[in-house]
Structure 1
């Protein structure tokens, strides 16, 4: 249970960082770049990143 909570915490930090990046990039007019980033980052890839981060 504790491991799941840690993963959720990291997921939240990464997601909020990604959101902050996308908002700042949109403010700078890089909306196409943001859309490409969002499309390329799917849930499966996100989970793989988390697994690598925790060395599963």
Structure 2
């Protein structure tokens, strides 16, 4: 996982959403909002919560 201090990993769900939904480029600011994203994915039954990780169904 590629990440710098204070930056999103390039292969994270947050990074994908920042790029595809908010049209952000590497180096641009974006608020981290992983908790609501994870809960939506679990609610939609796309993923399930694992111990310290998110598991794709």
TM tier, smaller:
under 0.3
Larger relative contact order (CA 8 Å, sep ≥ 6): 1
Q: In proportion to residue count, which structure has more helix? A: 1
Larger radius of gyration: 1
Taking structure 1 as the reference length, the TM-score comes to 0.27
Q: Higher strand fraction: Structure 1 or Structure 2?
A: 2
Q: TM-score, normalised by structure 2?
A: 0.27
